[in-house]
Structures are given as structure tokens and as C-alpha cells.
Amino acid sequence: MSRLASTGLAFFVFSAMVAALYAVFLYAPTEGQMGLVQRIFYFHVSSAICSLVAFSLVFLASIQYLRRREERWDRLAVASAELGVIFALIVLITGPLWARPIWGVFWRWEPRLTFMLITFLMYVAYLMVRAYAAGSVEQTRRFAAVLGIVAFVNVPLVHFSVNLWSADQQLHPQKVELAPEMVVARYVSLVAVGSLFLFLLKRRMELELASQTLNRIRQELDGERGDDGP
Amino acid sequence: MIKGVVAILWKDLRVEWRSRERLGPMVVFVFLIILVFNFSFELGGSALHEIGPGVLWSAFVFAGLFGLNHTFATELDNNCLDALMLAPVSHSSLYLAKMLGNLLFLLVVELLSLPFFCLFFNLSPGLYLVPLVAVLTLGASCLASVGTLFAAMSSNSRLREFLLPLLVLPMIYPALIWAVKATAIVFEHSRPSTTGAFWPGSLTEPVSFLLVYSIVFTTLALMLFDQVLED
């Protein structure tokens, strides 16, 4: 069943991606002022939404893990943290590509850029904690969960700070008026990127389950060998 | 609870008094970092008001990280941490004691290094510097609240000293933004033209943000510290 669902989801992601490519590059009109490069917007915004959803999932899964101590919540946390970082990276790469011809610079210390960068770095630290922990597996999960909560609580503070810190140079538009075709393209690409996110999340959680199972079998084998020893 | 906090804090202060492992190196470190900035940016005089507060806080943050690393690292020898956890005090008291200790060390370092900062950057001392004490205390408590929690986590990592900055720095950026802003406001008042109010009105906003930040993270750390130490 799970395998069938996976394959089904994969087909859906594929067709949604094709539909998104069509909508973004052929269906949506070229923006008057910015030209072709504006088409990066559809993937840029969708990825930003996905990364923030992923970080919220890390937060919820971390709370649940500390409350219930069930491995599945930890699997959800690690999978969403990795995906959140990847999607944030996509945002941070597509952003400057778009900014260079429009703003004239790759990077500006503008509120939203700064916010995304700091948030991205906090979750990179989260992955570092998981990667370089020295204690037991259980301890690593607890530490990660604590960080998953603390980092997410910090997100609104970062947002608030950088907004006021460089309020004089808001370059991101506060409100966007889009042509109807652009709205369609926007939602189609959101569905495509969102379903890609869900698909990768599912696969990453399955991978984590497999590696946890493998570790458990290894430990059991080591234990048996220990019993047989002198 | 309070008795336990005081006992652990007193123990740490006595250890520091006898070993002098933290304060001395931290003050020298702040001094050296201020010189690093001086030589890399040709500071002094005119540029002070623009980047002086940033230089000061960068030095404090780096020296703070140095001190934070010591928080639990010293307890690892002879399994002192296990003994502390066996002691009849709650884990929250342990956190609070360690956090207050870090806050105290940071404050002492800040106050000791401020005179030579003023000296090198030709900042004339005066009453206008008094609100700076509030800014320094709150900034230090932001760093201590987050740093103590993460120090407990990183002391158990393969990267040890290296992991702590990776954790603390991204988390501390909002507080850093406001601490630098508040310090800049205080320094601006050193100019003779802006005489008047003892507490500049524009200082209230950054200071209250720092207060919120340190309250939020101290509370959060108190709630979560059990999970970090549990074994």
C-alpha cells in the first residue's frame, strides 16, 4: 500500500511539475517591467512557503517527541528540517538570481533577505547538532527537539528585528497585483513544489525508518555476540 | 529552589576566584578583539559613532562564547556534572545558577573593558554612560540565557568548542541588532550638543526588546533544561 501510494504521489509530482513548467513558461504572460526573469518568482515564492511550513513541522514534531518519546515524531522532525534547509537554500539562490537584473545587486541587507538567511542558519545549526552529537541516539534526539523548539520561537523575533532594523530599505513588495494567468501559474507551481515537498518528506522519513531499523538490528547482533563471548 | 541556585552560583564563583580561568582571559580577549577591529578598519575619532557599538558588541559576543564554553566543560572533569545532577536541587536551579554565573562574568568583563574602549576611541566618560549599564546587563542576559542552554548541549558533542558558536550566533542575531542599536543611541548622547534627558526616549524600544528576548529565552530554557540533562 505504502509503495503504491509512493508511486502514485511520484506520478502526481511529475505531472504537477510538467503542468507548472507549462504554466510558468508558456501560459503566464511575460511581466512588463521585469521581463523573463520575473518567471523565477513562481518557484521562489513556492519554495519560501514550503521552507516555512517545514520549519513549523520541525517545531510541532519536536514538541510531540519530547511529550511522547515516539521515534516517528523524530523522523518527521529530521526529515522536515533537512527539507526546510534545502528549500530555504533554493529561495536564497533564486532570490539573488532575480535580484541582480532588477535591483542591480545580488544581495541587499533588506528585511526579508536577512530574515531568511538567519532562519536558514538556525536550522543549519540544528542539522549540525544532529550530525556531530557524541552521546546516545536518544540524547541526540532530545537535543535536536530542544533546538527545534527554541529555533522556531526565535523565528518571529528575528522577523520583527530585521523588519525594524532595516525598515528603510524594503525591496520586497508589500502587496502584489498579478494578472489572472499569473495567479493560475502561481498556484499551479505552489501545488507542484508543495507536492514535491510532501513526496520528499515521505521518502526521507522512510529512509530514516530504514536506517533506524538497521541500527537496531546491528545493536541486537552486537548484543548477541557479546553474550556468546567469554 | 533559591537556596540551590545560590549554592551552585557560590560554588562557581569560588572556583573562579581560586582558578581565575575565565575572567582574566576574557578581558584580555575583549581587549585583543577591539584592537583587531581597530587595525582592520582604521577606527578612532570620526568612525566611532558609526561602528563603535558594533565593535564593542562583537568583542563581547566572542569573549562571551569563550566564557560560555567553560560553563559545563569544567564540570566534565571527574564527572562533576553527574554529581551536580545527583544533588538535591532541580535541574532548573542548575540552569538558573549557571545562567546567572555567566551573566555575572559577562557583566564584569563588559564593565572592565569599557574604560579602555572609551580610552582608545576617545569617548569622554560622563553620566550619559549610565543607561549603558542597563543595555549591557540586558544584552549580557540575552547571551547568557541562550548560551547556557546551548553550552549544556555542546559540551556533549564531538565538536565541543566549535559547535557552541554555530548554535549561539544565529540565535543571538535579533538581540545583537537591538543591543548595538541601543548602544549607538547611548553613544550619540556623548556629543555635547545633545544635552538634556538622562534617559534618551529612543532607548526605550531597543531596551524593552532586549528585556522581552531575555525573558522569553530564560523561560523557555527553564522549561526545556530538564530534557537536556535527563540521562
Rounded mean pLDDT of A189-201? Answer: 95
Res. B130: pLDDT tops 50:
yes
- Residues B23-38 have pLDDT tens digits of 888 999 999 998 888 8
- In angstroms, how far is CA A182 from the centroid of its own chain? 24
- Whole-number percent of chain B with pLDDT over 70: 93
Give B133: exposed, middle or buried? Use CB within 10 Å, 0-12, 13-18, 19+. Answer: middle
Cβ neighbours of residue B176 closer than 8 Å, sequence gap 6 or more: B57, B61
- Residues A22-78 have pLDDT tens digits of 998 898 888 877 788 888 889 999 999 999 999 999 999 999 999 999 999 999 999
Q: Measure Cα distances from A93 to A66, A117, A189, A205 in Å.
A: 34, 11, 17, 26
Residues of B with CB under 8 A from a CB of A: 146, 149, 153, 156-159, 163, 166-167, 169-171, 173-174, 177-178, 181, 209, 213, 216-217, 220-221, 224, 227-228, 230-231
Least confident of A5-9, B81-85, B126-130: B126-130
- Residues B198-209 have pLDDT tens digits of 777 788 889 999
Q: How far apart are CA A123 and CA B167, in angstroms?
A: 9
pLDDT at B83: 84
- Residues A138-192 have pLDDT tens digits of 889 999 999 999 999 999 988 888 887 776 677 777 667 788 888 889 999 999 9
Residue boundaries of the structural domains of chain A: 38-171+195-208
Query: With contacts defined as CB-CB under 8 Å, which chain A residues touch B173?
Result: 118, 158, 161
A154 shares contact with chain B (CB less than 8 Å): yes
Rounded mean pLDDT of B8-17? Answer: 90
Res. B78: pLDDT tops 90:
no
Query: With contacts defined as CB-CB under 8 Å, which chain B residues touch A158?
Result: 173-174
- Residues A144-159 have pLDDT tens digits of 999 999 999 999 988 8
